[in-house]
Structure 1
Amino acid sequence: MHHDRTSALGGTYADPAGATARIRFRRALTLAAMTLVMPGSAQLVQGNKRVGRIAIRIWLSVLAVVAVLGLLALMDRQLIFGLATNAALLTLGRWLLIGLALGWVVLIVDAWRLGRPRELHGAHLAISTAFHGALVVGTAAILFFAAHTVSVMNGFTDAVFASTTVSEPHDGRYNVLLMGTDSGKDRSGMRPDSINVASIDAETGKAVLIGLPRNLENVPFPKGSVMRQQFPNGFDCDGCYLNAVNTWANDHADLFDSKEPGIDATMDAIEEITGLKLNYYALVNMKGFSKLIDAVGGVRINVRERTAIGGIGSPIRGYIEAGERKLSGDHALWYARSRVENDDWSRMGRQKCVMNAMVRQLNPQKVIMNMQDIADSSSAMLHTNIPRQDLNVFMDLALKTKSQPISSVSLVPPVIYTGNPDFDKVRRLVSDAVQTSEGDSEIQKSRFATAKLPVVETGDEASKKDPRKANRSADLNESC
């Protein structure tokens, strides 16, 4: 079959049928591309102009909203985070995304119809249909995923950040009590293994991690509190360490006018110990923390010392070797909690390094792409009284903190003797650490910078590898 014909003058010209087929094919693909870039434009040019005008107006409105939000994000990031965590707006946004997905799919299918598929033949029809089908699947998948992510975030914030009491910063800082605990049948009550206070500058995001030993004795309580009435000379009963305050208060809940006597009593004790007024608390279940790390693909840690896996009520089943490593949730958990073949002070330092690594390595992209897994793990991991209304504040502070050096101070020997603590000295150390974080160079040159730390071995190289260096550091990035 010949597609070229000879004219009366002896020349040739293209087959009109073939040229028409190519034009129809290009038109079909062009209509699809127009619908992808400007939904409704295909209908405006080739089909129902009224539908096209409505679709274009909706699309332009969406683009205008996105542009305004982008401009607001540059001017006031906290406002954007507030909108992104508002329950009513999240619900509305979810349904709008579903509506956009369905509407866009309908327009793409209609663009395929407008491309006159019956007039296409062979490969042209197959390519056009496949192209339109890919657009349908792609746009629907993206928008439905976005709607699902919004729904997950809304449910997660509702479940975890259920408190409605907002606390203003004290002396320009937010002070949050962070407690890590393991639940198990062999434990009497809930005793936090990890106790830290994150003190964060409300403007700059500069943060200080204050580590408190779980075995701190003779813990004081504020005047007028139930615990002060029961223990006027400090928490001095047999086996009564700081991490036992929660258990004691919960066991004597009838003495308290509180829904959470253990946590409230612990917060009272921490305030009296540190001299800081606490805004909120976050209770972290360590197994949930392990799942969170797995949800974001692990965490990269500079392992300072060979650390045992297991050995707490069970045989040692392996080791995390020293060096740069990407740890799974289980290994990161053991690195943070193991005290076999080392001690509590080493463990406190390693915990700070894990927290510092999470702050540095988590980013919005990881959070969004793993929202479902993060929500599942966090719901099992986190119990807090931070209200939903303050989430925008802490999201903004988290990004600021990420770009700042995080300093630390821990109330550990030889600076503080846990068996008979000098609480006046403790409060000075905390105050000095906060002032240092805020840039007081004179303080930095004094007690905070010159206090000595114990080391595992002798020698400069061993000292550099000692994880306890993180217990007292002006920059955890350098110490970890």
Structure 2
Amino acid sequence: MIAVLGVLVPGTAYLAAGRKRLGAVITTLSVLLAGGAAYVVLVRRDDVIQWALDPDVLLGMIVGLAVVALSLVVVLVTSYKMLRPLQTGVLTRLGGALVIGVVCFSIASGSALGAQNLVAQRSLVTKVFAGEKSKSGTRPAIDQKDPWANLPRLNLLLLGADDGEGRDGTRTDTVMVASIDTHTGETALISMTRNFMRMPFPKDHPLHDEFPTGYWDPSRPGQEQPDYYLDAMYRNIPPKYRELLGETDNPGADVLKLSVGEALGLKLHYYVQINLAGFEQMVTALGGITVNINYPVPVGGDDDKNIPPGRWLQPGPNRQLNGFDALWFARGRYRVPGADLARQARQRCTIKAIVERATPQNVLTHYKEIAAAGEQLIRTDIPQTLLGDLAGLGAKVKTAKIRNIDLDKKKNFPNGRDPNYAGMRTIVAKALAGTPSKPSKPAKPAATPRPSSPVTPTTKPSADPADLADSCAYHPS
């Protein structure tokens, strides 16, 4: 028992065995290390976050963890050899050796698990986030000392990339902007409709000279032009106008940062591109999400080929969804009237559900799986040097309000052929300045349809329709 105690407070077993000088040195070092660790965890948490996002520091942590584990095993084994009675029976010696072996195994396995998580974290940081050699034509310069000093709002472009089987290249069916107050963490989500045409470019950019009236074909006015939709820009523009985008690792994302930012009147600082297949893996790694479902949501189905969905996600409060069903909750649109807007609303609720699910305990428990999913899921131009500050901002976002900015479909884009971007910019500016524009009058609830039928999504009128906590609540028809 004294030998095992020597692992909890290294050096005490040496003192008990009469090795006072060696025991005093090891015990003193152990107490100093434990005290230093406690000080860092309790007082310098921000530094801990910074270190956990620095690849070089993470490598040092991996080596340090291995050294500490090996040292503990050596201390335990040598302490047992010094303290075990010389005159003992075989069974007593075997019992003591078994106890020491179990403790050594516990130390080794615990250290191995910690090392695996550190390796996964380092791999995630180095593979996903931009390093010194990464290139971007739209990424801003940042103040290393205080990135938020002169940046009241951080604007992130969120892209859902659908490059699955049967698709010709990457199509961004989901385009959303998250505007985050860097002081409070309050976040506003703005969804863009995938069939927007005439998407504008900044007047000082060469792409504006190519498309002075927006991205569309003026020779076919009033017609649907799928190759000029917002969801086709990522795929179609870079091959023809690559030289106008400068040096960049992701020209399609830079195109959308420029155009979406101009359409909304915002400077978009970074993009985060989500691979939909990786999204399923991420939700699975988190252990699923919980959402309220107010109407049947199709799982699968193809409008163009007239293929019905295999099943429907049934309405109900606090529905537990696995990764596959969460993906279809976010993207299902088969024959749902107002499909794009309904899907955008569910996507915002999905983001909210993921934020709520990503508790520190849950993330730590499933960290290896989450990190592996993140490598498949995320592509971004966020620099590694900003990760520590973003982690601190993310903690604020988790406890702050998340709301929606309604761009007013009825007034500003009855269809996608000629959206009123000036009107949208006015709405966004007022909302972010703290003066939300007057929302459209909510529709009257429709009768509850049969679960196997497509439905018109309905929501309960709210005192604040922009509040996601209310719009994502359970409001059955």
Q: Normalising TM by the smaller chain, what interval?
A: 0.7 to 0.9
| Paired residues for 1:71-470 under 5 Å | 71-73=42-44, 77-116=45-84, 118-121=86-89, 124-125=92-93, 127-164=95-132, 166-167=141-142, 168=147, 171-237=151-217, 238-239=225-226, 240-256=228-244, 257-259=246-248, 260-312=250-302, 315-323=308-316, 324-342=318-336, 343-411=339-407, 413-417=409-413, 418-436=416-434, 443-444=435-436, 447-448=437-438, 450-454=439-443, 457=446, 466=458
Aligned partners of 2:22 and 2:63: how far apart in 1? 21
Point out 4+ residue stretches in structure 1 off by more than 6 angstroms.
467-470
Corresponding letter in the other structure for 2:28:
R
Shift of 1:469: 8.2
Corresponding letter in the other structure for 2:321:
L
Contact 1:101 1:144 in 2 (8 A): no
Structure 2 counterpart of 1:67, from 18, 23, 38: 38
- SS for the counterpart of 2:310 is strand
Contact 1:346 1:468 in 2 (8 A): no
Contact 1:350 1:468 in 2 (8 A): no
Aligned partners of 2:444 and 2:33: how far apart in 1? 59
Structure 1 gap segments, 5+ residues each: 1-28, 437-442
Contact 1:47 1:114 in 2 (8 A): no
Q: Give identity over the alignment, percent.
A: 28
Q: Relative to structure 1, is the Cα distance of residues 254 and 387 closer, same or farther in structure 2, using a 3 angstrom cutoff?
A: closer
Aligned match of 1:25: none
Q: Relative to structure 1, is the Cα distance of residues 183 and 456 closer, same or farther in structure 2, using a 3 angstrom cutoff?
A: farther
Aligned residue pairs: how many? 435
Corresponding letter in the other structure for 1:202:
T
Q: Relative to structure 1, is the Cα distance of residues 111 and 86 closer, same or farther in structure 2, using a 3 angstrom cutoff?
A: same
Q: Relative to structure 1, is the Cα distance of residues 454 and 216 closer, same or farther in structure 2, using a 3 angstrom cutoff?
A: farther
Shift of 1:432: 2.5
Shift of 1:182: 1.4
Which segment is superposed worse, 236-245 or 163-172? 163-172
RMSD: 2.6
Which segment is superposed worse, 195-204 or 61-70? 61-70
Structure 2 gap segments, 5+ residues each: 133-138, 218-224, 449-454, 473-477
Contact 1:349 1:469 in 2 (8 A): no
Shift of 1:124: 4.8
Contact 1:345 1:412 in 2 (8 A): no
Contact 2:342 2:457 in 1 (8 A): no
Q: Relative to structure 1, is the Cα distance of residues 131 and 325 closer, same or farther in structure 2, using a 3 angstrom cutoff?
A: same
- SS for the counterpart of 2:298 is strand
Aligned partners of 1:109 and 1:401: how far apart in 2? 48
Question: CA offsets per residue over residues 177-230 of structure 1, 9 Å max, x none?
Answer: 000011124223322011111111111111111111111121111113232111
Shift of 1:458: 6.2
Question: CA offsets per residue over residues 13-59 of structure 1, 9 Å max, x none?
Answer: xxxxxxxxxxxxxxxx1332x21320121012215444433432332
Q: TM-score, normalised by structure 2?
A: 0.84
Aligned partners of 1:274 and 1:120: how far apart in 2? 81
Q: Relative to structure 1, is the Cα distance of residues 464 and 218 closer, same or farther in structure 2, using a 3 angstrom cutoff?
A: closer
Q: Relative to structure 1, is the Cα distance of residues 413 and 457 closer, same or farther in structure 2, using a 3 angstrom cutoff?
A: farther
Aligned partners of 1:78 and 1:101: how far apart in 2? 26
- Rg: which structure is higher? 1
Which segment is superposed worse, 347-356 or 105-114? 105-114
Shift of 1:127: 4.5
